[in-house]
């Protein structure tokens, strides 16, 4: 690339990136300020939801800052950052799909058990009895996820647990709830 063809903005970004590679906190903040609107737009283009785009953008920035020293040519920052956003978006979408599939599968199993009961009151009673028989940790995870409608990320933050741990506990809590529902129904 001919240096005369580059704009002052591109040159400034390249200098910022060089300073970022040296762990200059001020440069990191300025890079974020200059590029956050683009990263957020790219995120939104992939996930199509404002709140989720903020989440993906945040994850992307974490990856960008952790691996900026691996960027060989600062002139390619735009393309490199875009690929990171693309990968984080794909990860997020896959995670959402897995979560939806698990919820749908659990709901289907629960519906099979609960549809054997005729009234709403009986269904509620059956569910409450089954939930109360679960360990407290599982009760808490199910309550936060289903009743409070918290996303996994917020549950992880509020319980100070890794997201993977929350997902795992949610998986086992659903499985155990399904088994308890079958037991409670057959009592």
**In terms of pTM, does the model score above 0.85?**
no
Query: pLDDT (tens digit, 9 = 90+) per residue, 99-123?
Result: 777 666 666 666 665 565 556 677 6
What is the DSSP-derived secondary structure letter of residue 4?
A: G
The single residue listed with the structure tokens 């709830």 is: 177
Query: pLDDT (tens digit, 9 = 90+) per residue, 85-98?
Result: 999 999 888 887 77
Asked if the model's pLDDT at residue 1 lies above 60, the reply is: no
Q: How far apart are the first and last CA of the chain?
A: 76
CB-based burial label for 108 (10 Å; 0-12, 13-18, 19+): exposed
d(CA 187, CA 181): 10
Residue with the bigger pLDDT between 154 and 104: it is: 154
Residue 151 has phi, psi (to 5 degrees) of -75, 160
Asked if the model's pLDDT at residue 25 lies above 90, the reply is: yes
Longest distance between any two alpha carbons in the chain, whole Å: 81
Angle (CA) 40-25-30 rounded to 5° is: 40
d(CA 170, CA 159): 13
Q: What percent of the chain has pLDDT over 70?
A: 83
The single residue listed with the structure tokens 């129904």 is: 185
């Amino acid at each position: 690339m001919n240096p005369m063809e580059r704009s002052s903005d591109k040159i400034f970004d390249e200098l910022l990136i060089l300073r970022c590679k040296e762990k200059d906190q001020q440069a990191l903040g300025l890079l974020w300020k200059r590029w956050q609107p683009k990263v957020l737009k790219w995120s939104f283009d992939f996930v199509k939801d404002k709140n989720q785009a903020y989440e993906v953008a945040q994850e992307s920035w974490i990856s960008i800052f952790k691996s900026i020293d691996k960027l060989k040519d600062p002139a390619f920052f735009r393309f490199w950052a875009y690929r990171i956003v693309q990968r984080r978006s794909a990860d997020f979408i896959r995670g959402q799909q897995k979560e939806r599939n698990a919820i749908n599968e659990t709901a289907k199993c629960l519906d099979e058990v609960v549809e054997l009961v005729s009234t709403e009151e009986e269904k509620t009673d059956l569910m409450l009895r089954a939930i109360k028989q679960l360990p407290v940790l599982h009760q808490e995870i199910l309550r936060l996820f289903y009743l409070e409608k918290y996303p996994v990320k917020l549950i992880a933050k509020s319980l100070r647990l890794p997201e993977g741990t929350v997902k795992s506990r949610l998986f086992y809590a659903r499985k155990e709830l399904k088994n308890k529902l079958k037991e409670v129904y057959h009592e």
